[in-house]
Structure formats: C-alpha cells, structure tokens
Amino acid sequence: MAVGWHRPTKLVIDTQAIQENVRNEVKRMPQGTELFAVVKANGYGHGAVQTAKAAIKGGATGFCVAIVDEAIELREAGITEPILILSIVDVSYIDLLLKYDLSVTVATQEWLEQAIDYLGHIETQEPLKVHIKVDTGMGRIGFITPEGAKQAVELVQTSQKFIWEGLFTHFSAADEKDASYFEKQNRRFQAVLAVLNELPKYVHVSNSAAALWHPESIGNMIRFGIGMYGLNPSGHELPEVYPLKPALSLVSRLIQVKELPPGEGIGYGHTYTTSENEWIGIVPIGYADGWLRHLQGFSVLVNGEKCEIIGRICMDQCMIRLPRKVNVGTQVTLIGNDHGENITMQMVADKLETIHYEVACMFSERLPREYK
C-alpha cells in the first residue's frame, strides 16, 4: 500500500513518551530483571523500528515480536539486542532463525523432534535458542502439563542442537480486579517450576498488566507491550500505577469547508440530514486508513472544539459539523490534545466497542508515521 505522504493526514509518534514509559517501568523492576519491549504488529501500529530504538534509550534490553519477518525487520534496521519470536515458527525457517540470531518459542514436543531432524540435515553447527512456552490457562500455544514441559526441557538439554534460553507463560486476566484466575495461572506455572531441576537464563511471565499490577510475579524478565505506548492495559478496569504517557496522535486538516442549507443529505445513504444552515468540513481520512465507519457520531477536535462526524465515513474521507466557518487547512485532531481538550485512543475504542490495542493496530500503512 502506498504511504500518503502528499496529504495532510498522519500519525504523530512521540518517541520521548515511549522512552519515558519504558524508563518508568525499568525503575520499578527488581534488580536483575530485564525489560523486553514488545514491538509486534509494527509496534502496535506505532512503527516497530522507531519504537524499538526509543525503547532501547529507555532501558529495554531485548524485544518480542510475533513472526519471523518482524524480527528480520529489526535486525536489518541495525537492532542487535536479543529478539524472541512469540509464535510458532515452521521448522523450515530455522535457517533464518540462525542467520539472524533469533530466539524462538517452542510449544510442542513434535516441533522439537522435527527441529532436531532439520538441524541434523543442515551444515551449521550453531545451536538454536529456544524458549519453552507453558499454557497455564490462556488456551493458546504451549505445553499444558508440568510433565509435558519437563519432557521438552529434558530433550532440549540433552540435545547439542539447542540453547535453552527461556521458560514462560502468558496471563490472560492480569488486568482484572478479580485476581483469582491470575492466581490460578500463577500456581500452574509454579507447578512447572517445581518439577525442573534448573532454570534457563530467562524466566518470564509478566506482560504489561502483570508488570503493573502484579509486580511480585516470579521471573527475571518482563514483556512490556501496551504500557510502553502509554495505554492502560485494563482500559477502565484498573487505575494506572504511574502516569502512562500516550505516544500516538492522529491529525489531519480540513480540505474543504462548505455551508449547506436545511434538508441536505450527508454521505452514503444520506444517514445524516442537515436541520438548518450548517458548516460542513471535509477531512481526508476514511476506513481505508483504519478510521472505521462505526465512528459516525464520534467527535474530533477543531481549534479545541468538539465537532461531530456526520454521515457515513467513506473509504478516504469523512465529514464533520463545524460550529462556524473555519478556514481550509485548519488542523483536525482525531486522537490527541488540542487547545487543552483531549481525545484518547480509549475513547475511540469505547465508541467502537473494542479495546485500544485493536484501534492502534487498525491504522493502515497508508497513514504516514511522523516521529518527534
């Protein structure tokens, strides 16, 4: 997809905010604990490479991604810190894992056996770095019993083809007031630790939510994701432990302003009709950019005043009702601060009846990212 450098709509990413969020978390971590910044999905829509570089300045010592290609992007951008791929990678890509010095998640005994066979048929003698994943109640990838995890660990330890670098799980409810399910998962992970005779370099259980609200969690590494971008992992559920500084703003400019008489339809299906003489502003952003049709009725900011989105949002444009005539070229703030007023990504998520994670990841490649 082409990037829209030649229109006034853009995402503005505050790298200082990312640094500050990482730095504040690093200050809270017990001595000897490391922070791996999670930059999968293009840094949650913020831009993986620039986010990673900012995270390093804040104190991150490694990174987590979801797929091989995301890891390669970081390496080719000059990132030399450890990178863990959190999803399963087909054994046919082991050559790439070794070439780019990547760590990979192991979730089944069968994968290990296939990897041993594959490694036995390639020339390199370099061992593969692996992290054993335990499913303690998320229902995604991972070993589900202590015995299964122990068997995997024993195979890794007895083979010369692996380096057992990590052991981890993922909490599904660390961002809820009711901590009972979190505690259940924690007990299950403790049961895995109890059957192992030794531990790897990294033991990690804490995502952003666990790091913020369950700092007593075991382990010596945290995977800091949504919190790094300045967003509360729980949405409205739990208060922030310390101020998280949102890093993303979404801005555009008015490309046309017109006054319409009463009775004029706006947008596809004329779902909005002017009730009096109304000033209408056209904003060059639409659902192809990730600004979805369901945001009709939401408000944006123009000169610090809320202006309602009227009519259905189009693929490339949307229409807003202005309080008065406003000059073409005036900035429109869709997410961010404007003259003391603020629209947060959480507000957008509430309107869409989803979570801010999804909102951030929906912004398409067509939106340029500007870093400051």
Residue positions forming the annotated binding site for substrate: 140, 315
Is 184 a known active-site residue? no
- C-alpha–C-alpha distance, residues 301 and 299, integer Å: 7
- Are the C-beta atoms of residues 49 and 79 closer than 8 Å to each other? yes
Q: Across the strands, what pairs with 302?
A: 305, 332
Given the residues 184, 242, 268, 325, select the one marked as catalytic: 268
Q: Which helix (H) or strand (E) holds 340?
A: none
- CA 186 to chain CA centroid, Å, is 24
What does the alpha-carbon distance between residue 320 and residue 257 come to, in Å, rounded to a whole number? 10
What pairs with residue 369 in β-bridges?
Answer: 11
From 40, 53, 129, 161, active-site residue: 40
Residues at the annotated binding site?
140, 315
User: What is the phi/psi pair of residue 124, to 5°?
Assistant: -65, 145
| 162 backbone dihedrals φ, ψ, rounded to 5° | -130, 155
SS3 content of the chain, % helix, strand, coil (to 5): 35, 25, 40
Cα–Cα distance between 149 and 108 in angstroms, integer? 9
Tokens of 143: 């070993």
Active site residue 118: no
By annotation, the residues acting in catalysis are 40, 268
